[in-house]
Amino acid sequence: MAIIFSFPGFESIASHIASDLKITRGDMEIRHFPDGETYVRLNSPVEGQQVIIICGLDKPDQKIMGLMFFAQVARKMGAKSIGLVAPYLGYMRQDKRFHDGEAITADIFAGFLSQIVDWLVTIDPHLHRHEKLSEIYTIPAAAIHASDHIADWVKSNIARPVLIGPDAESSQWVSEAAKKAGAPFMVLSKIRRGDRDVAVSLPDVATYHDHTPVLIDDIISTAHTMIETVVHLRALSMRPPTCIGVHGIFAGDAYDRLMSAGAHRIVTSNSIPHKSNDIAIEDILATAVSAMIKNNHSHKG
Amino acid sequence: MAIIFSFPGFESIASHIASDLKITRGDMEIRHFPDGETYVRLNSPVEGQQVIIICGLDKPDQKIMGLMFFAQVARKMGAKSIGLVAPYLGYMRQDKRFHDGEAITADIFAGFLSQIVDWLVTIDPHLHRHEKLSEIYTIPAAAIHASDHIADWVKSNIARPVLIGPDAESSQWVSEAAKKAGAPFMVLSKIRRGDRDVAVSLPDVATYHDHTPVLIDDIISTAHTMIETVVHLRALSMRPPTCIGVHGIFAGDAYDRLMSAGAHRIVTSNSIPHKSNDIAIEDILATAVSAMIKNNHSHKG
């Protein structure tokens, strides 16, 4: 028996998964007191059940206490296990000590999450120096990929696409999506001339002047990299590019700045609720959750 | 050997304690990335040392990840122990399950802090249903009192004071401070007629018309209770009251609303940085920290 709860913003994904897997949709309340403290209440019984909570971990500091409170009260109420669906997984970027004395937050955060929940499902986590989540997570952790859905979106929406990865790190997302979309692709490389002076090198683009450039990256946060690339492509007289991010964080006014820079359109998956969401990932989340609840993991703490 | 670090806003308290106890003042960096994630770096060596971190836990969700990262990197760097000085301790108010399914955040938060640090010093925590911190904290935890300092402040600043506690819960702070200030006091009682309709009963005040009323409470958050009391005292033609809070949270525009309601002045301790701070508590913090480092607690995790 399983029951799925949702943090604010993920209600429709939770309902979709509940209906796909024929499991109960749980009701919870989460809010903040005027002094900033978090209040959590579970309104559905969870005794003996596999509890699933969907909570995206963008802006993780704002949500992590609520998630800890949720998990602990669910355990207190007799939950058999607690699984976390985090469509976006935070704290994956500081995966190394770049300077003495730095906290490697990727490791510490993973250790903490591994203590409070029993399994994790996420989409395209920012794995860079680590190859797999199991290097930092001690609980079963599934990283599923949005590349099929991105490829499908490109095929349905762009007539003659050329996929472009704005930097070497993005090549994993772009090459995969290009293969699936049957489209050509290029990966640009950044040439760092100094702290703030970054040039973008571009292979010969003449071949693709009648194609629509589709920039693809895993995360659009400040959008610095995307903006730089859009400006560069426009300078080379390429068509206004469509920008795709698996995860659209859009720090501050990043969305507007990227549009102003010359993007034709910005598209993201619904891993983080935003008006740019046009790639639905409920079905792959449901499949991954289904596998987790079949394995019936229980709490080891 | 001990070294003391500070979160933003507590630098001067940290320096004061360091100089009182003749210990080293450590240097750290804490900031937020544009996506909201927290970055922490320790710039002073801590190997083999008793590490002390001062971090007030008002708006706890904004700080707790940073505190966890700090503690973990300090351990990684060989700290012998990590002690937390939280002039204000958050999550003390939900100390009971008022409704089924509620997370008792006081207990869960205490359990979590007990995991990440080795001892705790705080000022006047909001102990209500729990009598002592040791009922919820599994680490050595000292709750020190600001009542002497409040009494001193009243004696030095108010000619003919009458101390007033706005509700029964506040009586512990008021009676203690009144005794030490050698001043008369009254404790008001709330009469709840409904969810939003709360009247305040007041003993005969005629005796105190030539006194200055001094309202005292542990926390001023929304200031609802204080405002209500100020309005009531003004209606009874008492002098404009001075309002003292040990901890001034001042959610939203609470400070301005309390002044507009007719407070003569609002005074708080420097447990939470605010323009109303006029009662310095560095010396009692230093004494409590001194006792903790003499006991030389080490990590049990």
Give me the helix-helix angle, A105-116 and B60-76, nearest 10°: 110
Name which of A33, A59, A104 is nearest B36 (Cβ-Cβ).
A59
Q: What is the pLDDT of residue A189?
A: 79
pLDDT mean over B107-113: 97
Q: List chain A residues with CB under 8 Å of B249.
A: 35
Tell whether the model's pLDDT for residue A141 goes beyond 90: yes
Residues in chain A: 301
CB-side neighbour CA atoms (13 Å) of A201? 8
Chain B interface, mutation test: which of A37, A44, A96, A226, most B Cβ atoms within 10 Å?
A37
Q: In this predicted structure, what is the pLDDT of residue B130?
A: 86
Q: What is residue A301's predicted lDDT score, i.e. its pLDDT?
A: 55
pLDDT at A129: 85
Say whether pLDDT at B116 is over 60: yes
Nearest CA in chain B to A93: B37
Q: What is the CA radius of gyration of chain A?
A: 20
Pick the residue from chain A with its C-alpha nearest to B36. A59
Strand partners, B144: B123
Q: What is the per-residue pLDDT across A191-225, written as a single tens digit (0 to 9) for each?
A: 666 555 555 666 667 788 899 999 999 999 999 99
Rounded distance, CA A170 to CA B62, Å?
31
Q: How confident is the model at residue B199 (pLDDT cuts 50, 70, 90)?
A: low
> A interface mutation test: which of B35, B43, B53, B257 has the most A CBs within 10 A?
B35
Per CB-CB distance under 8 Å, the chain B contacts of A96 are none
CA atoms of A55 and A8, how far apart (whole Å): 8
CA distance A89 to chain B (A): 11
What's the rounded Cα separation, in Å, for the pair A219 and A47?
A: 38
Question: Residue with structure tokens 């935890």?
Answer: B141
The total of other beta-carbon atoms located within 10 Å of residue B147's CB is: 21
Question: Pairing between strand B277-279 and A265-269?
Answer: unpaired
**Given A60, A101, A108, which is nearest B43 (Cβ)?**
A101
pLDDT band at B200 (very low <50, low <70, confident <90, very high): low
Given an 8 Å threshold on Cβ–Cβ distance, is A35 in contact with B58? yes
**B218: closest CA among B128, B155, B126?**
B126
Residue B19 CB coordination number (10 Å): 12
Q: What is the pLDDT of residues A150-182, one digit of tens each?
A: 999 999 999 999 999 998 888 888 998 999 999
**Which of A39, A105, A249 to mutate against chain B (most B CBs within 10 Å)?**
A105
Nearest chain B Cα distance for residue A78, angstroms: 11
Q: Yes or no: say if A250 and A278 are a contact pair by the CB < 8 Å rule.
A: no
Q: Where are the beta strands (DSSP E) in chain A?
A: 2-6, 24-25, 28-32, 38-42, 50-54, 81-86, 119-123, 141-144, 161-165, 185-187, 189-192, 198-201, 212-220, 242-248, 265-269, 277-279
Q: Which pLDDT belongs to residue A131?
A: 87
pLDDT confidence of residue A196: 53
Q: What is d(CA A119, CA A299) in angstroms, rounded to the nearest whole number?
A: 9
Q: Which residue has the tokens 């080293």?
A: B24
| HEC-encoded secondary structure of chain B | CEEEEECCCCHHHHHHHHHHHCCEECCEEEEECCCCCEEEEECCCCCCCEEEEECCCCCHHHHHHHHHHHHHHHHHCCCCEEEEEECCCCCCCCCCCCCCCECCHHHHHHHHHHHHCCEEEEECCCCCCCCCHHHCCCCCEEEECCHHHHHHHHHHHCCCEEEEECCHHHHHHHHHHHHHHCCCEEECEEEECCCCCEEEECCCCHHHCCCEEEEEEEEECCCHHHHHHHHHHHHCCCCCCEEEEEEECCCCCHHHHHHHCCCCEEEEECCCCCCCEEECCHHHHHHHHHHHHHHCCCCCC
Question: Residues B86, B112: contact at Cβ < 8 Å?
Answer: no
The Cα of A23 is separated from the nearest Cα of chain B by a number of Å equal to: 20
pLDDT score of A50: 98
User: What does the pLDDT average to over B190-196?
Assistant: 60
Does B101 contact A59 at a Cβ distance shorter than 8 Å?
no
Structural domains of chain B, with CATH: 2-145+281-295 (3.40.50.2020), 147-279 (3.40.50.2020)
Interface of chain B toward chain A, CB-CB under 8 angstroms: 33-43, 58-62, 64-66, 68-70, 72-73, 77, 90-91, 93-94, 99, 101-105, 108-109, 111-112, 221-222, 249, 251-252
Q: What is the pLDDT of residue A191?
A: 65
A214 φ/ψ angles, rounded to the nearest 5 degrees: -120, 105
In order of A44, A73, A288, B103, B252, the CA distances from B93 in angstroms are 24, 17, 39, 12, 19
Q: Does position B297 have pLDDT exceeding 80, yes or no?
A: no
Mean pLDDT rounded to a whole number for chain A: 93
Please determine, for residue A290, whether its predicted confidence score (pLDDT) is greater than 80: yes
The mean pLDDT value of chain B amounts to: 93
Could you report the per-residue pLDDT of B59-93, keeping only the tens digit for each? Answer: 999 999 999 999 999 999 999 999 999 999 999 98
Q: What is the DSSP letter of A208?
A: G
More confident call, B21 vs B203: B21
Q: What are phi and psi of B142, to 5 degrees?
A: -105, 125
A59/B42 CB distance under 8 A: no
| β-bridge pairing A81-86 and A119-123 | parallel
- Type of residue found at B84: L
Give the model's pLDDT for residue B197: 55
Is this structure's pTM higher than 0.90? yes
If you compute the radius of gyration of chain B from its CA atoms, what whole number of angstroms results?
20
C-alpha distance from B164 to closest chain A C-alpha (Å): 24
Question: For B269-283, what is each residue's pLDDT tens digit?
Answer: 999 999 999 999 999
- Note whether B84 and B57 are within 8 A (CB): no
What pLDDT, on the 0 to 100 scale, is given for residue A89? Answer: 97
What residues of B are in contact with residue A112 (Cβ under 8 Å)? 68
**Chain A hits for B68, Cβ within 8 Å:** 108, 112
- Compare CB distances from B61 to A61, A93, A111 and report the shortest one's residue: A61
**Among A263, A260, A273, CA closest to A243:** A263
pLDDT (tens digit per residue) in A20-36? 999 999 999 999 999 99
The C-alpha of B182 sits at a distance from chain A's nearest C-alpha, in angstroms, of 33
pLDDT of B180 strictly over 70: yes
Q: Which candidate from B37, B94, B102 shows the least CB-CB separation from A105?
A: B37
Nearest chain B residue to A254 by CA: give it.
Answer: B34
